[in-house]
Amino acid sequence: MASITTFCFTFIIFFSLIPSTLSQKPKYMTFVVNATEHPPEDYFDYIVVGGGTAGCPLAATLSFNHRVLLLERGGVPHTNPNVMRQEGFIPTLRQVDDHYSPAEAFSSEEGVPNARGRILGGSSAINAGFYSRADDEFYNRSGINFDSSSIERSYQWIEKAIVFQPELEPWQSAIRDGLIESGVRPFNGFTLKHTIGTKIGGSTFNSSGHRHSAADLLNLAKENNIKVAVHATVERILFSSENVHATGVVFRDTAGRYHHAMLKKQGEVILAAGAIGSPQLLLLSGIGPRAYLSSWGIPVVDHSPFVGQFLYDNPRNGISFLTPSLLRHSLIQVVGITDSGAYLEASSSVRPFHSHVHSRRSHSSPTYFTVANIMEKIIGPLSAGSLRLASTEITRSPTVSFNYFSSPVDLERCVNGTRKIGEVLRTRAMAGFRFWNWHGAEFRFVGAHLPANQSSDEEMGAFCRQTVNTIWHYHGGCLVDRVVDSDLKVMGVGSLRVIDGSVFSISPGTNPQATVLMLGRHMGLKILRNRMQKKSV
């Protein structure tokens, strides 16, 4: 009981420090304005739509030599306690509304709840903070015209600013030991690289649990060359009336007023609104399948049949159980990278136990308990879905389908991953998380548990289908060689690119955050370099 009291006291002191942390304005706030303060019309070299995981490093990089406008539909992160602390991860995903919450909820047609970022920093400001680079094969398979030396420099630029080596929480240490004991070897220690075996990855939460996100990379921008407009909802891309090229965008502020952001000569509009936002905005702007756009009454700017197609989401499956003793809150710090197409991760959360007895006795302290989670994600995936408009209003989320496990290969990989979870549960490292009763020691599962016959592919496959969830790693919708070329320029349209996870046909590595951050920096450097070369000719 003393340990629980000590934990709760520390918990209270911990959160009492939040106001002082939140009161410190980031450097980038000197060039952030509410969209209501933006002039009715202004001109820029680059207009970046979406202040998220790719958009922030991209805009910061382009500002070195050019005037940049970054448009974000949400607000700023540093004033929100849930966003800025790792303990607020779950509350942020649960406390959603239709217009202003940092997380925007949506569900696939399969009925699987999902979320995307609606805040400066994008999904990097609402995720679990795990940072791990892409697997080596990703760069070649992506179809993107990557430069290997620039990839490394871009990663290092990101990592120096916002990535930390985590101090393992007890539950994470136990998972590390359980993975190794179950054969997910070798143990690679702390590394940001993708390598088979068990490893400790990076985190965008520092040692005190304070979040760093893509928004913090704006601190590295050239402040005289950049403007960030928040609460700016881009409604459509503007195009020339003659040859098809982007000339600017129209966005709306919270007062309902419209603003025009226009391009200077040789400028570009760059979509970085993510796998949901970028294809949606292309469709609403008239870039997509001709017959489909016409059915919505949208004037066709360019017939691009694959916009919104090949949309993917990596299915998450796993188990949750109560622990006999109270554990500290932990988000993902350790990952097991198997050779059978699955990645294993874990988390733990501390929750208050509310009872009628405590509610009547106001002087009683709440009792806390811990829920531990072990989850697996499959590589790829191969199963593809699509995105369709639900409305011509940009603020309404489109209809998405991911067709989970439509590929038998994906189902086989899930069976392999969930079977490995069973092996981890049977290790000595997990013995201390069982409860003893007259039957012996057993786990107290919360929700679904693994089938008793884990050797049965049929039963394990049924478990995968019945417990499918998201790990928020959706991607695709604007694939390379279908919607954009290898330099991420929209095919058939000038002065327009898409630079975000919507161009990926596979999710990079265990977690995409690192790669999407790198992509923004890498493409920003490439655009600057190419423009300088053209100028010198």
User: Which domains does the chain possess?
Assistant: 27-353+366-536 (3.50.50.60)
315 is in an annotated binding site: no
Task: Give me the mean pLDDT over the 183-199 stretch.
Answer: 98
Q: Which residues contact 200 (CB under 8 A, 6 or more apart)?
A: 165, 166, 168, 176, 189, 190, 191, 333, 334
Is there a binding annotation on residue 102?
Answer: no
**pLDDT-based confidence at residue 468 (cuts at 50, 70, 90):** very high
Read off the pLDDT of residues 366-385 as tens digits, 9 standing for 90 and up: 689 999 999 999 999 999 99
Q: Report the C-alpha gap between 16 and 14 in whole angstroms.
A: 6
Per the rule left: phi > 0, alpha: psi between -120 and 50, beta: everything else, 373 is beta
Share of the chain above pLDDT 90, in %: 90
Both tokens assigned to 529: 């370099």
Active site residues: 473
Beta bridge pairs of residue 205: 211
- 366 or 227, greater pLDDT: 227
Q: What is the pLDDT of residue 7?
A: 42
Residue 501 is assigned to a ligand binding site: yes
- The least confident of 13-22, 48-57, 113-122, 516-525 is 13-22
Measured distance CA(40)–CA(36) in Å, rounded: 9
**Is 60 exceeded by the pLDDT of residue 2?**
no
Strand partners, 445: 321
Q: Is 512 annotated as a binding residue?
A: yes
For the chain, the maximum distance between any two Cα atoms, rounded to a whole number of angstroms, is 82
Confidence of residue 352 (pLDDT cuts 50, 70, 90): confident
Token pair recorded at residue 353 = 């136990």
Q: Was 245 annotated as part of a binding site?
A: no
Whether pLDDT at 491 is above 80: yes
pLDDT given for residue 537 in this prediction: 59
Torsion over CA of 373, 379, 383 and 385, rounded to 10 degrees?
70
Distance CA 359, CA 42 (A): 57
Residue 437's pLDDT is: 85
494 in Cβ contact with 306 (< 8 Å): no
- Mean pLDDT check: name the lowest of 22-36, 287-301, 374-388, 418-432: 22-36
Averaged confidence pLDDT in the chain: 93
The pLDDT value given to residue 351? 87
CA distance to 49, 74, 209, 380, per residue, from 504 (Å): 18, 24, 30, 10
pLDDT, residue 15, reads 40
**Residue 6 predicted with pLDDT over 70:** no
CA separation for the pair 231, 77 (Å, rounded)? 12
**Token code pair at residue 26:** 């980031």
- Taking alpha carbons only, the member of 290, 254, 410, 264 closest to residue 341 is 410
Mean per-residue pLDDT for 239-260? 96
pLDDT of 197 > 50? The answer is yes
| Alpha helix positions (H), 63-203 | 81-84, 89-94, 136-141, 148-162, 170-181
pLDDT tens for each residue of 142-157: 999 999 999 999 999 9
Position 14 scores a pLDDT of: 39
pLDDT digits (tens, 9 = 90+) for 7-22: 443 443 334 334 444 4
Question: Annotation-wise, does 436 bind a ligand?
Answer: no
Q: Establish whether 473 is an annotated binding residue.
A: yes
For residue 439, the model assigns a pLDDT of 78
Supply the pLDDT for residue 485.
98
Nearest to 285 by CA among 233, 237, 232, 234: 237
Cβ atoms within 10 A of the Cβ of 383, count?
20
C-alpha closest to that of 164 among 101, 207, 218, 223: 207
